[in-house]
């Protein structure tokens, strides 16, 4: 049987743990990197009609390429998270390095139509804080003769794969339009909450639209990806059999959870100074207000267990990217982004210790002949340190925004992208 306090806590932990796995490239838990060119240009590619790495950001760019192509690559992420709390300095024990796929195919059907297919990981990653990091929820407490763990949340892991088929239509020499769908698969959703462990997976669907206009040295681009709701299903295993027997903790069961992903809008302008140098400026807005509430229901009965409010804010990112054609075979890339957080103190979460970020990047594209090219890129991410003291007292229920998470948070990350591109 669920008590109100336990039910509220479980819903919160499901919501925070599933949705709060640590992303390091953009606000919240978003991973916008979808090509090596994107990493090298800090994702400023929505108005780029020349680079094939732009297809993943704005599929309308396919309309400006007469040939077909296939790009296959991966990027490696090395994140570092730390916090200073009342118990001292602590580093997150998540994976040191992770590898994520980047695949993009673009196929020319005739003079006007193009067909694309992309595979990426737009949301996810991992955090793992050791027991003792947050004293208010660390250790045990005594109930009669039993020592009951306070339930320090240790692990969050989420990986969402997006398979996106798209079509592009070249209206005339200046304008190309695109449309597609996004099939999201939460391949891994695993967490250790204050109450137990939840593992599961699920699916969701969205759509995307794009437009790219080029006139002389100028090009203007716009790309939109809709919000989507992933229907997750998982097995919840409680931490304490004693609390279950006392009716103070939920029994093992299957639960359902709706996870709302934010919409994303990117607008950009690019200017080619000459045949060698081009510069692009983009503004991206992420609709984190769509990530408003989490509804947890019983798989067996369909009854509503709890509704948790997140109340994040929409947030902007400002991106600048430059390409320089060193010679016929070699292109250099440079980028910078200032990325705002959508998370305020009222709902601050240690699973997403988010703050405004600076992204610095550089890249290289080298032609190998016979339609082959090799691309590489590096990005450094540095978050503004966050001195968080808590928006409300911790009373044993809702961790988000509470004094239990008080501390000085810092984060940085290194990204390395590698990709091979074949034009045919």
pLDDT tens for 154-178 read: 567 778 999 999 999 999 999 999 9
Question: Distance between CA atoms of 380 and 132, rounded to whole angstroms?
Answer: 30
Other CB atoms closer than 10 Å to residue 328's CB: what's the count?
Answer: 7
With 90 as the cut, is the pLDDT of residue 188 above it? no
Position 392 scores a pLDDT of 85
CA distances from residue 156 to 108, 194, 351 in whole angstroms, order as listed: 42, 12, 7
Position 18 scores a pLDDT of 35
Enter the tokens of residue 325: 């054609």
Q: What 8-state DSSP symbol labels residue 135?
A: G
Position 239 scores a pLDDT of 65
Position 21 scores a pLDDT of 37
Helix (H, G, I), strand (E, B) or coil at 415: strand
pLDDT band of 67, cuts 50, 70, 90: very high
pLDDT band of 196, cuts 50, 70, 90: low
Other CB atoms closer than 10 Å to residue 16's CB: what's the count?
Answer: 26
Position 305 scores a pLDDT of 57
Phi, psi (degrees; rounded to nearest 5) at 44:
-90, 85
Averaged pLDDT for residues 261-281: 96
| Beta strand 69-85 pairing with 407-423 | antiparallel
Position 223 scores a pLDDT of 98
Averaged pLDDT for residues 110-138: 87
Enter the tokens of residue 299: 């798989």
Q: Between the ranges 133-142, 191-200, 373-382, where is the mean pLDDT highest? A: 373-382
Q: Between the ranges 76-90, 240-254, 318-332, where is the mean pLDDT highest? A: 318-332
Question: Distance between CA atoms of 49 and 269, rounded to whole angstroms?
Answer: 11
With 70 as the cut, is the pLDDT of residue 250 above it? no
For 277-310, what is each residue's pLDDT tens digit?
Answer: 999 999 999 998 887 766 667 777 776 655 556 7
Collect all residues with Cβ–Cβ distance below 8 Å to 79 and sequence separation of at least 6.
Answer: 22, 24, 92, 94, 125, 411, 412, 413
Position 126 scores a pLDDT of 74
With 60 as the cut, is the pLDDT of residue 23 above it? no
Question: Distance between CA atoms of 173 and 124, rounded to whole angstroms?
Answer: 39
Collect all residues with Cβ–Cβ distance below 8 Å to 102 and sequence separation of at least 6.
Answer: 33, 34, 35, 36, 56, 71, 72, 73, 74, 75, 119, 120, 417, 419
With 90 as the cut, is the pLDDT of residue 376 above it? yes
Enter the tokens of residue 336: 């910078």
pLDDT band of 271, cuts 50, 70, 90: very high
All domains of the chain in start order, with CATH: 4-144+160-423 (2.40.160.60)
Handedness of CA 27, 33, 38, 41 (dihedral sign): positive
Residues 367/328, Cβ–Cβ less than 8 Å: yes
Residue 216 CA to its chain's centroid (Å): 35
Other CB atoms closer than 10 Å to residue 99's CB: what's the count?
Answer: 12
With 60 as the cut, is the pLDDT of residue 26 above it? no
Position 199 scores a pLDDT of 75
With 90 as the cut, is the pLDDT of residue 69 above it? yes
pLDDT band of 423, cuts 50, 70, 90: very high
Least confident segment among 93-97, 117-121, 197-201, 228-232? 93-97
With 50 as the cut, is the pLDDT of residue 11 above it? no
What predicted TM-score, i.e. pTM, was given to this entire model? 0.85
Position 282 scores a pLDDT of 98
Averaged pLDDT for residues 105-122: 96
Question: Distance between CA atoms of 159 and 415, rounded to whole angstroms?
Answer: 17
Nearest to 22 by CA among 74, 82, 75, 79: 79
With 70 as the cut, is the pLDDT of residue 381 above it? yes
Q: Which segments of 138-252 does DSSP mark as H helices, in order? A: 241-245
Instruction: Compute the half-sphere exposure of residue 82: CA atoms within 13 Å on the CB side of its CA.
Output: 11
For 95-109, what is each residue's pLDDT tens digit?
Answer: 678 889 999 999 999
With 60 as the cut, is the pLDDT of residue 19 above it? no
Collect all residues with Cβ–Cβ distance below 8 Å to 96 and sequence separation of at least 6.
Answer: 78
Question: Distance between CA atoms of 333 and 155, rounded to whole angstroms?
Answer: 36
Between 7 and 348, the higher pLDDT residue:
348
Question: Distance between CA atoms of 303 and 296, rounded to whole angstroms?
Answer: 9
Question: Distance between CA atoms of 392 and 345, rounded to whole angstroms?
Answer: 9
Question: Distance between CA atoms of 193 and 15, rounded to whole angstroms?
Answer: 10
């Amino acid at each position: 049987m669920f008590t109100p306090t336990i039910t509220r806590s479980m819903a919160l932990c499901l919501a925070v743990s599933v949705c709060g796995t640590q992303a390091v490239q953009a606000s919240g838990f978003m991973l916008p990197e979808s090509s090596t060119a994107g990493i090298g240009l800090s994702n400023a590619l929505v108005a780029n009609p020349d680079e094939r790495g732009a297809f993943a950001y704005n599929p309308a760019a396919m309309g400006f390429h007469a040939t077909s192509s296939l790009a296959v690559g991966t990027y490696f992420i090395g994140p570092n998270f730390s916090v200073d709390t009342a118990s001292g300095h602590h580093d997150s024990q998540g994976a040191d390095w992770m590898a994520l796929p980047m695949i993009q195919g673009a196929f020319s059907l005739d003079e006007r139509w193009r067909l694309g297919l992309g595979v990426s990981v737009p949301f996810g990653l991992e955090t793992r804080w050791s027991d003792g990091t947050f004293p208010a929820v660390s250790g045990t407490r005594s109930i009669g003769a039993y020592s009951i763990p306070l339930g320090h949340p240790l692990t969050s892991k989420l990986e969402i794969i997006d398979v996106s088929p798209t079509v592009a239509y070249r209206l005339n020499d200046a304008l190309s339009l695109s449309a597609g769908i996004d099939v999201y698969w939460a391949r891994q959703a695993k967490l250790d909450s204050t109450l137990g462990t939840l593992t599961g997976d699920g699916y969701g669907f969205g759509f995307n639209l794009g437009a790219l206009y080029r006139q002389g040295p100028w090009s203007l681009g716009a790309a939109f990806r809709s919000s989507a709701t992933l229907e997750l299903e998982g097995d919840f295993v409680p931490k304490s059999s004693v609390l279950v027997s006392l009716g103070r903790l939920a029994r093992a069961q299957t639960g359902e959870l709706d996870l709302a992903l934010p919409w994303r809008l990117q607008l950009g302008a690019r200017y080619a100074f000459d045949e060698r140098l081009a510069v692009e400026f983009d503004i991206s807005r992420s609709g984190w207000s769509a990530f408003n509430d989490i509804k947890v229901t019983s798989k067996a009965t369909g009854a509503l267990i709890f509704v948790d409010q997140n109340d994040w804010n929409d947030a902007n990112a400002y991106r600048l990217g430059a390409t320089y054609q060193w010679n016929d075979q070699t292109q250099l890339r440079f980028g910078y982004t200032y990325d705002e957080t959508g998370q305020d103190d009222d709902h601050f979460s240690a699973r997403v210790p988010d703050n405004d970020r600076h992204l610095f990047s550089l890249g290289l594209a080298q032609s190998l002949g016979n339609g082959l090219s090799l691309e590489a890129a590096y990005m450094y991410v540095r978050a503004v340190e966050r001195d968080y003291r808590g928006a409300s007292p911790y009373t044993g229920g809702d961790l988000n925004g509470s004094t239990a998470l008080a501390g000085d948070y810092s984060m940085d990350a290194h990204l390395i992208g590698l990709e091979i591109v074949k034009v045919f």
